[in-house]
Amino acid sequence: MKKGFRIIKFKKNKPIFQIRDISKSFDGRPILKKISMEMNAGEIVGLLGPNGSGKSTLYSIIIGEHQAESGKIYINNKDVSEKPIHERAKMGIGYLSQQRSVFGMSVYDNLLGVCQLSIKGVQNQIAMVEKLLDEFNLQHLRKIHSTVLSGGEVKRLMMARILVNKPSVILLDEPMSALDPIVIQDIQKYILKIQSYGCAILVTDHQVQNLFDIVDRAYVLGEQSIIAQGTPKEILKSSKAIELYFGTKYNN
């Protein structure tokens, strides 16, 4: 899939999201060392790295599920490093986990449940549910129990659910993994759609091409650090990223 015409022009000097020098170990084993990154509103940024390189760990630190040993996290220039999960969510962080994570009820009730928690007034809640069912091609599945949804359908439901809280920063953890090529294209389309609302999106994958189809820039994680960053073109020229991650497959 090729990125089409992009309407959003992001302000490069005003990052909406920043992390500074985040470090984390598990049981004395260093996983992340002094990771820094930033994103602008409306920007899609990739986070690439082999399995086990710490992508999900970094997300869990950003959302507040795990505490970093050191480092800071800023949303809209506000330090959220000490805030609990629910406050970070309120301050604009949306998160799609790597695992299938929906309530054991219908598609409609999954969306309504989240709307009831964060939108005032039954009519407004219902209006939001209908809007999301339309936008994420879920209308025909509205009465279907979530347990029988396909992988791609679950991802659409999970993406729709994130938008209820109108996040400004969205973290997508491997939204395209374990899906068929045609479904991957579909998910890419929805990621671009979310981006068109002006959200900053950080998206992980270990398949280089799936990610490079849609990102403006990317960071590559390796050896506990950021080993390369920049546009896909710039990253593919990085000798360290080639040596540690890409090999020579993408280098022509």
Binding site for ligand ADP (CB under 6 A): 26, 31, 49, 51-57
Which H/E stretch holds residue 72? strand 70-75
Least spacing, CB of residue 173 vs Mg ion, in Å: 6
Least spacing, CB of residue 52 vs ligand ADP, in Å: 4
Smaller CB separation from ligand ADP, 57 or 195 = 57
The entry of Mg ion, ligand ADP, none that residue 146 binds, CB within 5 to 8 Å by partner kind:
none
Least spacing, CB of residue 53 vs ligand ADP, in Å: 4
Which H/E stretch holds residue 204? strand 200-205
The entry of ligand ADP, Mg ion, none that residue 195 binds, CB within 5 to 8 Å by partner kind:
none
Site string for Mg ion, 24-43 (x = CB under 5 A): --------------------
What is the DSSP-derived secondary structure letter of residue 242?
Answer: I
What strands, in cross-sheet order, belong to the sheet with 169-172? Answer: 93-96, 169-172, 200-205, 44-48, 217-222, 225-230
The entry of ligand ADP, Mg ion, none that residue 125 binds, CB within 5 to 8 Å by partner kind:
none
- Between strands 217-222 and 44-48, the pairing is parallel
**Among positions 56, 81, 168, 229, the unique one binding Mg ion when judged by CB under 5 A:** 56
d(CA 252, CA 248) in angstroms, rounded, equals 8
**201 to 230, contacts with Mg ion by CB under 5 A?**
none
Query: In sequence order, what are the beta bridge partners of 106?
Result: 145
Q: At what angle do helices 107-118 and 151-163 cross, to 10 degrees?
A: 20
Smaller CB separation from ligand ADP, 51 or 248 = 51
Least spacing, CB of residue 113 vs ligand ADP, in Å: 27
- For 22, the token pair is 């985040």
